[in-house]
Amino acid sequence: DEMNLHVPQTEETRAEIKELCLVPNNIVSPQKNGPLMGIVQDSLAGVYKLCRRDTFIDKELVQNLMLWVPNWDGVIPQPAILKPRPRWTGKQIISMVIPPEISLYSKEDKLDNPRHDAGLLIQSGELMYGLLKKKSVGAAAGGIIHLCYNELGPEGAMAFLNGVQQVVTYWLLNTGFSIGIGDTVPDKATINKIQEHIDEHKAEVARLTAQATANELEALPGMNVRATFENKVSMALNMARDQAGTSTMKSLKDSNNAVTMADSGSKGSSINISQMTALVGQQIVEGKRIPFGFKYRTLPHFTKDDYSPEARGFVENSYLRG
């Protein structure tokens, strides 16, 4: 709608503006002592995929990828597999982009260990084990970008950001990455398990409704009977969603593209996947179930004073089932 231009008049002003507005100088913010910029979306999903143990790259693609490595010295590393054909791992390619001054050790969970490729270890620029995800290459304090900025300055951080994105994007262009409806379809055993969880907790809600109707429901401390009923029903329905979601996530393979996106932090989360695959779950408005509107009901399809899960905003189908 409009454009403004300020033209610096003196050399001092030019120097000041260059110092204040230069992008590399603003990678790390003094406000939060962490990077404001990080790798996102396709590059983030790509770097996660590239670091997997089952990623191997042939000589032709490795030579093409090397051209995108910043300050490459012209030496291709030894292949991880020599016979029957030379193959390089994705970790070797990423290690070419990480500066040799960088060392990083991260253990998110007590159970993380190198055998499962969990956690992260970078030793003098070599990625030993682990997968690069949002925590390590995103806009997060203590990640690789933050370390590059501290150790090598703004230009070093910018070189890493540019290099890793160019290498990963070129590799992804050759490998491909797409998400389809097949990534959200659970197997038959999982569908049955999801239905069991839903039926179990709907029966629990029916039992609570019968208790409340018969005036047998005991009020919780600091609540009346109606608030107690709503609280217990919400807990039961949330439990149904969580258990169904857990069953779904366990059934999906690591190679599933939706899981790759959620795990890497590029887009979505496990809740989004469980809503697509298992069930959407209870809809909450202002911390409560959907309230009654016109004539003591939520929609004309329901009878008056219907407190059942469906009548108060519980969606037991997934987005896939409609």
Mean pLDDT of 98-102: 91
3-state percent breakdown (helix, strand, coil) of the chain, nearest 5: 50, 10, 40
Task: Kindly state the tokens that stand for 241.
Answer: 């969603």
Q: What per-residue confidence (pLDDT) applies to 95?
A: 92
Chain centre distance of CA 58: 29
Strand-pairing partners, residue 126, are 123
Percentage of residues of the chain with pLDDT beyond 70: 99
CATH number, domain containing residue 185: 1.10.132.30
| pLDDT level of residue 148 (50, 70, 90 thresholds) | very high
| pLDDT single digits (tens) 274-283 | 899 888 988 8
Q: Which of 81, 38, 31, 73 is nearest to 57 (CA)?
A: 81
Q: Are residues 38 and 142 in the same domain?
A: yes
CATH number at residue 165: 1.10.274.100
Q: Of 285, 295, 289, 293, give the one whose Cα is nearest residue 309.
A: 289
**Is residue 65 assigned to a domain?**
yes
Quote the strand ranges of 63-218, DSSP E. Answer: 88-89, 104-106, 120-123, 126-130
pTM: 0.84
Q: Are residues 268 and 129 in the same domain?
A: no
User: What is the average per-residue pLDDT within 305-313?
Assistant: 87
Check: CB of residue 248 under 8 Å from CB of residue 273. yes
Claim to verify: residue 272 and residue 214 sit in the same structural domain: yes
Interval 263-275: pLDDT, tens? 899 998 888 888 9
In degrees, rounded to 5, the angle at the alpha carbon of residue 321 between the alpha carbons of residues 318 and 322 is: 85
**In the structure encoding, which two tokens stand for residue 161, read together?**
């950001």
The boundaries of the domain holding residue 104 are 22-175
Domain count across the chain: 2
Structural domain contains residue 10? no
Q: What amino acid is encoded at 257 in this protein?
A: N
Q: Is residue 254 part of a domain?
A: yes
Share of the chain above pLDDT 90, in %: 43
Q: Is residue 17 a part of any domain in this protein?
A: no
Instruction: Report if residue 162 sits inside a domain.
Output: yes
Specify the DSSP element, H or E, that contains 284: strand 284-285
Does residue 67 sit in the same domain as residue 111? Answer: yes
Query: According to the model, what pLDDT value does residue 114 have?
Result: 75
Let me know whether 97 and 229 are in one domain: no
| pLDDT band, residue 60 (cuts 50/70/90) | very high
